[in-house]
Structure 1
């Protein structure tokens, strides 16, 4: 009945005219480009590049080095000894795939929460980012090997429309040896689709609850001379929380050209525009009373369950007025443009040289709090590396070495918002100008010293320079004051690593690794005080970690694969952030002198009854993550006194201790129903602490999702080109917490810490997740 209801809703769904008009133009343009490319390529080379490459490998095994050299990542694609999980299109292409969460949900060790915006998913690897309010933190993010993380450690998932991607690889654990600054918990590489695999044009639409409508088009073609993929999408939705409607347009292109037999160019372009209205995060009390902020447009902070922000009536000083985010016009109106170029040169079949340049501009206009944040972030990244394969006797040795330099300059202003609607700007409250650059080098050796053994050793280092000046403005009826805060910070970090891999048989691979990592503060961390105001926080230090992994990959048969890794990581000066409430201008970041992370990640892919139910399959991913302070004393203050509290032994807030995804899939392999399939999915997330004193928890949840799809087999002629699906999310219609940021503990007048009852009124923490939702989609290949 759920799927029938889903289909009924689609048949009665209004068509969003403006979005359709814009995307129809995009689709027609892409279609015309693809026709021209197909005609030209067909005349020159009837065989696709993927088939050609396969033939070359068979003809001469030494060519495997050259083919590996054209991999997407400028660093080793799968760093030996490091725990690595991947997710391909088969895990998300048959569903609505609204955000990066749909790409990583089946990856052990990965979890996600809702960030500040519709596709701003906070992806966490082993708990690294759960406590953040936005973006992908403590990770290096790549796309086709080009950096998506700016030099200040900022990466956002808004750029990612899963329809454009072939898959994603997640490298877990400390990874600064190869990936440099901010790879404190690993790296992620997103891989776009190859033009040769698309071989034409694909047009598609997703539609469903809350007015969602995403129209997209993909053009691709390739041979051994070039490979081109062009993708564009436009998604619109009114959202399920008041003031959460959005429109996001994304364009992506990758072009590989073989200039000669030994030289290749790869051109990468990504552009994204996000126009999103934004609700504010709630307290736990507000969430329980009114999780979706209904009927709150004219409400004040006194209204039960309604969130509001306090805005200066004249935009400068004096009286403040409580205004709902919808009435204030809070939102995010951002643009991101990335252009990258890589030259790959083969000195020989054994030695590859790569040189890469990336320009990345992030321009933000974010009236998300009582102040509006406006400004550009321009960054430039260059890198050069060499990969060499030799034989020491009969044992192969792979050597990788590289250098990199990236530079960010920025200049932003913040303005007081006035309660007149439309995020009306008042006087400037602060401005900041600065830069950050990172100069790094890395080296790694991977030696197969015996048939079943190989050993990896590496060393990486980065020198970081941060310089910034912030001007704080104060206003009164008679004067304007200025206060200056200056930061000039320099950091140098080293990251050695070693790994040992043993493959006793084709069914077993065992690995152990000692890895290290580091992450410097970003300029934004330096100017937010514990009260959540702009000011001086320039004393914070770089964080570092040492981690030990012990894992196994077991494949006893073609129908079962089990991957498991245990990890234990030791942190010094870990950077932890917490919110001071909805009226704060940002989250405060501090150093915890010592902490430990330990846990287990487990992945299972099992076809339990291959003969009786050949299309049946079970995919399971599970993460256990226990993170505690081992040395941290927190000082709390009120208007009359201060007290110190020892947090050693307390759980680090914002970390989900247990995360489980289980999918039960079926795809009919033959017969009249060939191509028909679907799955039932269970997502379980444990409750987790929100404060350093471990007084208040965000509640956990368990969700059930259902999906059915149909891919007509090739024997059905033209119908084979049409794919459709239908999906029901949150079948039980639960109200649940999709994202919750850390909150401050407070000191009462009697010198005692506030308990859970008081903390439940702390705002700026919680976003609710979607109620039951129905989605569907169609995709046509031409």
Structure 2
């Protein structure tokens, strides 16, 4: 009865099925999370929390709803809820917790395997084997790598740098006890770049590990992951250390990679009123990268077999480029001014790769003034060092950053009502120098002449406050506000070189592009949570989010080359959520949330073509609306159904796009067009059975289905990326044992993409192409874009086999 529950989702049709079968759905269910902060509403009074004192702690991942919840407390005012930081399960927030324990009997390659069971979340492959672009309600779907428009944390320590970029390379999913997903604009609580939401990864504590947990996973295409977690709690000290080494050849040509991760968390209860938490993360990554394809190239050669050497001209070159991604670079490594000085290369020949390192050190001090008042202060040092010859140009950068926060939380009253008050200040800053060089056509990522040098400083300074008020034992109101100043000061130097004559190779021209911009932003939030019935919890939320530009976006022009883009504005997102959690039995949870969000100056990123940099621009007006559902149901002992479904309908409401050249410009009204990069329908479902008793107890299996509908990748809604439906199956054995030092043993085997379907794992947005027809500027059609719009697509995995074993000592 101790196994924790993961949240899933389902459509309205599934709800009807549940009502029809409720007579047989009344067996006892293991402890279950109801889907976020609202679940804590069913426990006990805030007075009990204050009597128990502020050091009421619960291991990460074990916050659960009891089978017979105490309904005396208002939503969000249970003792467990009040003992946690405000950000952990914010009352009124549309929120999901995914439990790591539900994934201990399957291979975990990336965080996608866990997060796909949170509604509202979608994914695409980034640049690297573990670089997953995570999107909440389509917020980061237009990004080509990493994560933007979402604030990411680990154990409450920010892993989003001050310029708004997060990466999942450093996140091995085996390390986590759970993942918290905050959906919708959340700047009132998380500040800049939380216009789409936030994600908090939670590692296992030393007490939870309580020994050594070692595992090894292997599979198709050279996949091998060795990982270990060591943890122990002794008196007032708790320490947990996780380490992994992952290697893989990759199923696409020239995508070999390996990454090493160390993740440590130590907690020291110095006095009854003082807790110190130390955090350390180290990640070292090397990955070969292939080029991205056009749609036609994907259909003809999705895994880029045979893409070694490109002919330089003629019919042979045309035949080669129909099948393979290529990049055009200066043959001498400088800036070519004629076709004779250009060289068409491939990812294999030029050695496109990433060689990155990330180090994060954090320290948090929590001090209790009394049983009602807690002061938290934390400081983080975050250094990202990259060497990335990933295409026609290479990026080299070392980006150190600092992040400091301090806040006070007090449980008390407001106008005679029970209340929790929260106020805090925060500051983060990064200062770096980055270099953009031409990539040489032949070599292991070798670089040529410097094209641009960027010296940048970006900092965010802000304050936030929050009031949670229990209007009655069934109704809680929340008001929140963040105010923030963002400053960017940067200078980019552009260089060109003499190509001929006595001064060949010397600098021919220099251009300096200065930027000095200050942005002021405000993020309000208000919500009402109402427990209509003991089994039905509803919530209504209005909130705002904002995301300023980052320095890198200000120096790539609409030709995809280094240049001025200084008119880019802050994007704002204002929206409403309304939904409910319904739990009529301990064996059933169903949740439904609808959202409607208005974007102003939405930042869209797209590619002008192969070998060019992605650039960002503002769309003045757009709307995002949709529905998110989840289902978790155990109709019989050992049987479990988990599912979720998300509907996203996103359109431009005000946007006129300018295409063409200065001499011949066309203007295209995009109002009413779909926003590219966002799939309207995504769904994930799993049916599992585990033998609950008998000699074979612990033997189980599941079948899983993942679906994504087709979607556009251009503003003109011309080019469509095909949808997909993938089926996977798993068999596993997981059992407690008593054999010398061995406490637990697990073995598992999985087949992914059983029917070996071709599918698109990643498609970057592309720019529409135009031409002159009868003196008029017109858009190119589907055939032209499918053939010529390269630099977009990575194929997903074919059928593959993976398995592993785990030992707990």
User: What is the TM-score when the length of structure 2 is the normalising length?
Assistant: 0.87
How far is 1:421 from its partner?
1.5
Q: Give 1:553's match in structure 2, choosing from 578, 581, 600.
A: 581
Which position in structure 2 is the counterpart of 1:140?
Answer: 151
Which position in structure 1 is the counterpart of 2:171?
Answer: 160
How far is 1:63 from its partner?
2.5
How far is 1:76 from its partner?
2.3
How far is 1:504 from its partner?
2.3
Which position in structure 1 is the counterpart of 2:199?
Answer: 188
Answer with 469-478 or 715-724: which moved more.
715-724
Which position in structure 2 is the counterpart of 1:384?
Answer: 406
Quote the Cα distance in structure 2 between the aligned partners of 1:666 and 1:58: 42
**8 Å CA contact 1:638, 1:749 repeated in 2:** no
Cα distance per residue 1:310-336 (max 9 Å; x no partner): 121111133111111011100100000
Q: Give 2:326's match in structure 1, choosing from 308, 314, 325.
A: 308
In the TM superposition, 1:325-344 aligns within 5 A as 325-344=347-366
How far is 1:424 from its partner?
1.7
**8 Å CA contact 2:294, 2:790 repeated in 1:** yes
1:712 is paired with a residue of what secondary structure? Answer: strand
**8 Å CA contact 1:711, 1:720 repeated in 2:** no
1:780 is paired with a residue of what secondary structure? Answer: strand
Cα distance per residue 1:369-416 (max 9 Å; x no partner): 111110101100111001100145874210111000000001011111
1:210 is paired with a residue of what secondary structure? Answer: coil
**8 Å CA contact 1:328, 1:423 repeated in 2:** yes
Quote the Cα distance in structure 1 between the aligned partners of 2:487 and 2:667: 33
Cα distance per residue 1:8-65 (max 9 Å; x no partner): xxxxxxxxxxxxxxxxxxxxxxxxxxxxxxxxxxxxxxxxxxxxxx9xx999862264
Which position in structure 1 is the counterpart of 2:107?
Answer: 96
Which position in structure 1 is the counterpart of 2:72?
Answer: none
Distance 1:717 1:678, change over 3 A: farther
Structure 1: runs of 5+ lacking an equivalent: 1-53
1:771 partnered with 2:798: yes
Q: Give 2:540's match in structure 1, choosing from 512, 518, 536.
A: 512
Which position in structure 1 is the counterpart of 2:699?
Answer: 676
Alignment length (residue pairs): 722
CA-based RMSD: 1.9
Quote the Cα distance in structure 2 between the aligned partners of 1:426 and 1:648: 43
How far is 1:354 from its partner?
0.3
**8 Å CA contact 1:298, 1:323 repeated in 2:** yes
**8 Å CA contact 1:270, 1:338 repeated in 2:** yes
How far is 1:505 from its partner?
2.6
In the TM superposition, 1:468-483 aligns within 5 A as 468-476=490-498, 477=500, 478=503, 479-480=506-507, 481-483=509-511
1:526 is paired with a residue of what secondary structure? Answer: helix
Which position in structure 2 is the counterpart of 1:295?
Answer: 306
Quote the Cα distance in structure 2 between the aligned partners of 1:374 and 1:61: 52
1:763 is paired with a residue of what secondary structure? Answer: coil
Q: Give 1:402's match in structure 2, choosing from 397, 416, 424.
A: 424
1:755 partnered with 2:781: yes
1:453 partnered with 2:475: yes
User: What is the TM-score when the length of structure 1 is the normalising length?
Assistant: 0.90
Distance 1:443 1:392, change over 3 A: closer
1:728 partnered with 2:751: yes
Q: Give 1:626's match in structure 2, choosing from 630, 634, 649.
A: 649
Distance 1:171 1:129, change over 3 A: same
Q: Give 2:629's match in structure 1, choosing from 602, 611, 615.
A: 602
Which position in structure 1 is the counterpart of 2:23?
Answer: none
- Runs (4+) of structure 1 exceeding 6 A deviation are 57-61, 69-73, 715-719
Cα distance per residue 1:681-717 (max 9 Å; x no partner): 0000001101000001111100001111111244788
Distance 1:59 1:444, change over 3 A: closer
How far is 1:93 from its partner?
2.0
Distance 1:259 1:719, change over 3 A: closer
Quote the Cα distance in structure 2 between the aligned partners of 1:776 and 1:75: 39
Which position in structure 1 is the counterpart of 2:209?
Answer: 198
Which position in structure 2 is the counterpart of 1:62?
Answer: 51
Quote the Cα distance in structure 2 between the aligned partners of 1:146 and 1:630: 37
Answer with 747-756 or 185-194: which moved more.
747-756
Distance 1:70 1:701, change over 3 A: closer
Distance 1:201 1:713, change over 3 A: closer
Distance 1:514 1:256, change over 3 A: same
In the TM superposition, 1:362-381 aligns within 5 A as 362-381=384-403
Which position in structure 1 is the counterpart of 2:457?
Answer: 435
Cα distance per residue 1:606-647 (max 9 Å; x no partner): 112x2xxx1001001110011110000001114741011100
**8 Å CA contact 1:712, 1:719 repeated in 2:** no
